[in-house]
Structure 1
Amino acid sequence: MEISATGRLVVRITAADVGKRVSVRRLGEPGVAGEKFTDTVGVLTSWDNGVLLITRRDGVAVRIPESSLVAGKVVPSAPARRRGPAASYEELARVASRAWRPLESERLGDWELRAAAGFTRRANSVLPLGDPGLPLDEALTAVRRWYGDRGLPAYVQTATGAPGTQEALCAELERRQWTREVSAELWTGALAPVADRTQAPGVALSREADEAWLARYQRKGVSEVALRVLGSGPSVWFATLPGATEGEPPAAVGRCVVDGRWAGFAAVEVDPALRRQGLASLVMAALARRALDEGASAAWLQVETDNVGARALYAGLGFSAHHTYHHYRAPSSAGNDR
C-alpha cells in the first residue's frame, strides 16, 4: 500500500489511471466479520459515479466505492514470472488458436471470428487481438449477426492476468450483460523436462485420431467436424497407450500440436480406474520427445481452475500459469460445449 512519509496511508490513484494495474486497500463492509481492511490488485477498468471497477488476474470484477478507499497506488503491469519460457499474451493466444483451427473464419478489423459447427468454444468464438475497426457496440452487433447466421451462440474469448490482456474489454462486455460462462488458465513450461519422464515403449503415435484413440476421448459421438478440428494445426500428433486387454479402450491418450518453438498439449485422458498411476505423464513424455525432434523447446496447455488433479500433474511437470482466459456469451445465446 502507498504510505506517506508521516506513516499515513495515501490514495495515489485517480480516474486518469484507468487501464493501469493498481493495488488498493479499502475498509471492510459494515457489519461483516473479519479483517478491517480488504486489499485488491488488478486492472482499474473504470471509475464512474464514485465506484471503481478493478478486474483481478482471474477475471473477477470487483466494485469498490470511492468512499471506502484507504490507500491505493499504481503497480507494475504484472508480477515477475518465476519460471517457464518467456512469452507474450498475444504470441500464446495466436499459437493456441492455431491448435484449434475453425472450419470457417472472418476478419473484423483485428478480431478473428471463428466457427466450427459448435465443436469447442475455442474454435467457435471471437479472438479479439486488437481493434475491430468499429465502435464496440457496432462490432458486437456484427459478431452476433455473424454467429446467428450460422445458428451458433456468439462468444468472445478474452484473457486477464498478463501484460497485454483484455481486462477493459471484459468490463465492457459485462456492462452489456455478456455472461462469463467458462474460465480456464493457459500454463507454460519447458519441454525437455516433460520429455525426460519415464520411457513408455507401449505408447503409439499417429497423425490421425483412430477409433481406439476416440474410444478414450471424453467427448462421445465425435463428428466429422470435430475430427477436422482435432486434426488441425501446423503439426498434430495423437498418442495412445493401449489397455491391458486387447479390444478394450486405451488406458490413456493425448494430443500435441507442434508450432515452431511451441508444443501444445491437449485431450490428455486416462481411464478413471487407472488414474494417479503416472499414465498421463507417460503419454505426454512420448509426445514431448516427438515435439523436441521437430525443434520445439517450450510447451503450453490449458487447464480449468477446478481440475485439481490435472493442475497437480502439470505443476509437477514444471508448468505454471501464464494467464487466465474466458469465454463471454452474448445475452440470450444458448450454451455450447467447452
Structure 2
Amino acid sequence: MEFTGGGRLEIRVTSADVGKRVSVRYVTGSGEAGGMFTDAVGVLTSWDDRVLLITRRTGEAVRIAESSLVAGKVVPAAPARRRGPSATFPELARVTARAWEPVESEALGGWTLRASFQEVPPGGRPGGAAVGRRVGFTRRANSVLPLGDPGLPVAEALAYARQWYADRKLPAYVQAATGAEGTQELLCAELDRLGWRREVSAEVRIGALAPIGDLDTDVSAVRLSRAFDETWLRRYRRFGEPGPAVQALLASGPSVWFASVAGPDGVPAAIGRCVVDGRWAGFMAVEVAPELRRRGLATSVMTALARQALDEGASAAWLQVEADNDGARALYDGMGFAPHHHYHHYRWAEA
C-alpha cells in the first residue's frame, strides 16, 4: 500500500490507470465497525460508474465501489518466475495452439477463428449431444484465439465470430488469458460486459524438460509410436466415438508422439501424447486407468515422452491442467512445472 509521510494510507490510482496492474485496499461489508479491510492485486480493467473492476491473475474479476477504497497504487508487472524456462505469453500461446491444430480456421486480423467438429450420427451421442447436432472436439480447437488486433472494434469482431460459429452450427467460444505480461485482462472484462460467460479455466504450466527425462523411473513398459491406434483411443474416451475430425486433431502438430502402457482386456493401463515444437515439448492426454493410479504410470509415460523430445532437441516443457484437478497439479508440482498463465473459455450466452 502507499503511505504518506505521516503514515496514512493514500489512494494513488485513478481511472487513467485502466490497463495497468494495481494493488488496492478496500472495505467490505458495513462501513461501520463491522467492515473489514480486503486487498486486491491485478489489472485494473475498468473504472465506470464509480465502480472499479480488477482482474486477478486467475481471471477472477473483483468489483469494488469507489467509495470503499482506502488505499491503492500502480505496481510493477508480476515478476517472472525463475523456476524453469522463460517464455513470453505470445510465444507460448502460439506453441500450445499448434499442438491442437483445428480442422478449419479463418484469420480475422490478429485473431484466429477455429473449428473442429463432427456430426452426431444416428444412434450415436458423442459427448452426450443430441442426434443431428454438430459437436466440437476440445474448446482449444473450437474457439477464437485473439493474439492481436482483429482489425475491427472488439464488439464488431465478436459479432463476426458469433455468426461464423453459428454458420457452422457450433457454440461461439473465445479463449482469453490472464496472469502474464501481454495477456488479455481487458478483453476478459469486455467479454463479461458484452454478455459472454466464462465456462472453463485452466493453468498453462512450464518447466525444464531435462529433469523429467532424468527421473529415476522404469519406462520399459512404455511403447512410443508416431500414431495412435484403436487400443489407445479406448483409453482416451473424452469424446464418445471419435470421428475423422477428432482423429485428425489428435494427429496434428509439428512432431507428435503417442505413448501407451499395455493393460488388461486390450485397453492400455496408461496413455499420453507429446507434441515437439522447436524448443518446446507439450504433454497432453496423460490418462491412467482409475484402478491403477498412484503406481507411477503417469510418471513413466511422461518420462519416456520427455526422453524422446530431448532427442529431438527440445529443452522446455509445457502442459495445461484444469484448476480443480488436484491430483494432476500435485504430480506436476513434483516434476518442476510452475504456472505461467491462466486461460479461460468464454461462451456466448445466447438469449
TM band (smaller chain): over 0.9
* Alignment partner of 2:231 out of 202, 205, 212: 212
Report the Cα distance in structure 1 between the residues aligned to 2:27 and 2:310, rounded to whole angstroms.
52
Q: Secondary structure at the match of 1:26?
A: strand
The match for 1:96 is 96
Cα distance, 1:35–1:297 mapped onto 2, change above 3 Å: farther
Partner of 1:158: 176
Paired residue type of 1:192: A
| Residue type of the alignment partner of 1:150 | R
What SS is found at the alignment partner of 1:184?
Answer: strand
**Separation in 2, partners of 1:26, 1:331:** 32
Residue in 1 that maps onto 2:71: 71
TM superposition shift of 1:332: 1.3
Cα 1:234–1:7 change in 2 (3 A) is same
State the match for 1:194 in structure 2: 212
SS of aligned partner of 1:221? coil
Matched length:
331
Conserved? CA contact 1:254–1:283, under 8 Å:
yes
CA distance in 2, matches of 1:283, 1:35: 52
Determine the structure 2 residue equivalent to 1:115. 115
| Unaligned segments of structure 1, at least 5 residues | 334-338
Q: CA deviation at 1:28?
A: 2.0
Q: Give the Å deviation of 1:309.
A: 0.2
Residue-by-residue CA offset, 1:39-60 (whole Å, 9 max, x unaligned): 0000000111111000011111
Say whether the 8 Å CA contact 1:218–1:269 is kept in structure 2: no
Question: Which consecutive unaligned segments of at least 5 residues does structure 2 have?
Answer: 118-135
> Does the 8 Å CA contact 2:96/2:282 hold for their aligned counterparts?
yes
Map 1:1-338 → 2, pairs under 5 A: 1-30=1-30, 36-117=36-117, 118-197=136-215, 198-219=217-238, 220-243=240-263, 245=264, 247-332=265-350
Q: Which range moved further: 219-228 or 50-59?
A: 219-228
Alpha-carbon distance between aligned partners in 2 of 1:80 and 1:100, rounded to the nearest angstrom: 27
Q: CA deviation at 1:32?
A: 11
Query: If the length of structure 1 is used for normalisation, what is the TM-score?
Result: 0.95
The CA distance in 1 between the partners of 2:77 and 2:147, in whole Å, is 18
Aligned alpha-carbon RMSD (Å)? 1.5
In structure 2, do the counterparts of structure 1 residues 34 and 156 end up closer, same or farther at CA, with 3 Å as the change threshold?
A: farther
Partners of 1:158 and 1:28 in 2: how far apart? 29
> Does the CA contact (< 8 Å) of 2:29 and 2:35 recur in 1?
no
Change (3 A) 1:33 1:301: farther
Kept after mapping to 2: 8 A contact 1:15/1:46: yes
Deviating more after overlay: 18-27 vs 190-199: 190-199
Q: Distance in 1 between matches of 2:84 and 2:70?
A: 36
Secondary structure of 1:114's match? strand
Identity of aligned residues (%): 68
Cα displacement (A) at 1:33: 10
Once residues 4 and 83 of structure 2 are traced to their aligned partners in structure 1, the CA distance between those partners, rounded to angstroms, is: 34
SS of aligned partner of 1:199:
coil
TM-score, normalising length: structure 2: 0.92
Deviates more, 1:24-33 or 1:251-260: 24-33
Query: What secondary structure, in the 3-state scheme, does the structure 2 residue paired with 1:323 have?
Result: strand
